[in-house]
Structure 1
C-alpha cells in the first residue's frame, strides 16, 4: 500500500501514519508488530497448531513498605497437577486522529476466554474453552479455537518468564491474532511478589520492560490491602513511559517522534497462593499518545483504554 503508484508522493507520509497507527495500539500491551498486522488481515486460512514461545522480560521488585506484622514470603504453593477453571476477559479501545481529520475508531473486539489451568513442574498449561466476542465477524472466526492451548513458564518466585501459544489446527489468522493480543494483555497485567517477607499494608513496585515497536518502561505499584490465609487482595497502580523519544518504524521505514505519551491505570486483583491464576479482579490502563512524522510534520493522536478481568 505504501508504494502504490495511485498515492501522491506528498500524501504518502499521511498514509503511512494511517497504516501504522493500528500497530501502535499494541504497544501498551506488549504485542509485537507482527501480531497486530496479522489481526488486520482478512485471511481466514488456518495457520496450523505449531506452538510459539515468546520470552517475557524480567521484572525487578522493590519493597517500599513491608507492612504490618505478621510478615511472610508471598510464594505460590500449588503442587504439580493443580487444576483451576477461570475466565479471562479483555477489551482494547482506541480512537485516533491525524492532524485535523475526524477521529476514527480502531478498537479491537472484546474477548471472553474460559480456560482450564493445570500446573506442572515448569509452569502453567492452559486449555481454552469456547472463546466468544460481541463482534459477529470475530465470533465466527473464534468458533474453531476451542481446544487451543496456551501456557506460562514461571520463575521460582512465580513470575511469568515466557508465554506459550498453540492454537487449534483450524484456528484462522484473525482468531489467532485476537488470542495473542488478549494473552499479552494478561501477561503484562500480572503481578510479581517481592523477595522479602511482607504483611498487610505492604507496598512494593514491579518494574518491567514492555517489548514492542516502542519499548516501554512499566512500573506497577502493588499494595497488599488484605490477607485471609492464602487469599490476597492487591491494589495495583500502573504507569508506562517510553524508553526512547522516537519510534523506529518496522522494515526501515523511518521513525516517528514521540510528542506525548501518558499511559496509566489501576485496579484490584484477588489471588490465591494455592492456585495458579487470579481468582477475581480487573485492571484498566489508558491514556493518550501523540506522534509526529518529522518528514511531513503530520501529527497522530491516540486515546487508548484497555481492560483485563478475571473471574472464576
Structure 2
C-alpha cells in the first residue's frame, strides 16, 4: 500500500507534461515512465477491493485509514447459474445444509504472480508475497464467521506485519445456493495497512474462485455454468464451468474451468492518468475442489487462473504486456 499513497502527486505532475505528434524522445520517455509507475500502482492495488481508495486517501492526508477497528462490508456481484447437463440419476438439489454453530478448521493459501513489460524494456516482477491463513470457521444464519490464526508469508517484512492480525475477524454472507454475496473484514486495530491489503486481496481471490450450486436437481457428471462480474480496474465477466465429478453423501468433488473476459475495450488508469486500449486479454484456469455440504468452507482443493494481456497507450507508441497467475488453495 505504500506505493499507493506516494504516487498520485508525482503521477499527476508528469501527466501534465505537454505533448504533440512531434514531441521529443525525452517526452516520450517521460510518458513511458509515467505508465510504468501508474501500472505498478494499479497492480499493487489489484484485488484489494473498494477499501483501497479510502485507505490511500487517508494515508496521503496523514489520518487514520477508514475502517480501522471496525467491520467493513463489501458486496459481491450476484451470480447466475445455468445447468448445461443434469448428469446421471439419481439427481438431487445441491444445497448447503450447515447447521448454525457448525465449526470447521481449514487453511487458505493464496499466491498471486504478476509480471509486466513496457515495450522492449526488461520484464519486471510486481508479485505480492503469498500468504497462508489458518481459519476457524463457524456458521451462522447468514453465512460463516471466520477467525484468523497465525497468518504467515515467506516475505519476512510481510510476515512481521501480519503478526498483529492474529484473531482478526472475517465473514462471508452466503445465499441458499452457496454463492458468497458479501465479504466482511474486521482486522485487529494494530494491523498495518500492508497486512490489511494482503488479507483483503487473499479473501477477494478466494471469493472469486468459489462456487455456486445450480437451482435444479443434478447428479454425478452434471455440468453447470456460473456467470459473475469481477470488479476491478478492468471490469471482467467471469464464467466458471463446474462439473460434479463425484458425490458421496454430502461430500462433492467438483472440477472448475474458469474464463475471464473484459467488459470494456479500455482500461481507465488510476489517478486520472488516462486510459489504455486493451489489445488482447486472455485469462483462463482450472482446478478441483472438495466440498462438504455440511461444512461452511471447502475441505480441500486448488484453483489456478492465469494468462496474458496487452495494452496500448493511444498517446504514444508505448505497449504494456502483463502476465498474471493466481492460485487459491484450501486444505488442512
Indicate whether 1:17 and 2:26 are aligned: no
Q: How far apart are the structure 2 equivalents of 1:167 and 1:211? A: 22
Q: How far apart are the structure 1 equivalents of 2:45 and 2:80? A: 20
The Cα shift of 1:34 comes to 2.5
Q: 8, 11, 15: which is aligned to 1:2? A: 11
Indicate whether 1:250 and 2:250 are aligned: no
* 1:124-203 matched pairs, under 5 angstroms: 124-203=144-223
Distance 1:219 1:24, change over 3 A: farther
Secondary structure of the residue aligned to 1:289 is: strand
The higher radius of gyration belongs to 2
The Cα shift of 1:22 comes to 3.0
Q: How far apart are the structure 1 equivalents of 2:46 and 2:258? A: 11
Aligned to 2:25: none
Q: How far apart are the structure 2 equivalents of 1:51 and 1:243? A: 31
Indicate whether 1:78 and 2:89 are aligned: no
Q: How far apart are the structure 1 equivalents of 2:116 and 2:313? A: 15
Q: 285, 289, 296: which is aligned to 1:265? A: 285
Distance 1:210 1:30, change over 3 A: farther
Indicate whether 1:228 and 2:248 are aligned: yes
Aligned to 2:78: 58
Q: 292, 299, 308: which is aligned to 2:312? A: 292
Asked which structure has the greater RCO (Cα within 8 Å, sep 6+), the reply is 1
The Cα shift of 1:158 comes to 1.8
The Cα shift of 1:118 comes to 0.6
Q: Deviations over 1:51-74 (max 9, x none)?
A: 111000000001010000000000
Q: CA RMSD in A?
A: 2.4
Q: Deviations over 1:201-258 (max 9, x none)?
A: 0000000000111100000000000001100000000000000100122343321100
Aligned to 1:96: 116
The Cα shift of 1:14 comes to 1.5
Distance 1:293 1:92, change over 3 A: same
Unmatched segments (≥5 aa) in structure 1: none
Q: 49, 52, 55: which is aligned to 1:34? A: 52
Aligned to 2:225: 205
Number of equivalent positions = 308
When the two structures are superposed, what TM-score results if normalisation uses the length of structure 2? 0.87
Secondary structure of the residue aligned to 2:167 is: coil
Q: How far apart are the structure 1 equivalents of 2:189 and 2:46? A: 29
Aligned to 1:219: 239
The Cα shift of 1:89 comes to 0.2
Secondary structure of the residue aligned to 1:109 is: coil
Which structure has greater helix proportion?
Answer: 2
CA contact (8 A) 2:292 2:298 kept: yes
CA contact (8 A) 2:146 2:171 kept: yes
When the two structures are superposed, what TM-score results if normalisation uses the length of structure 1? 0.93
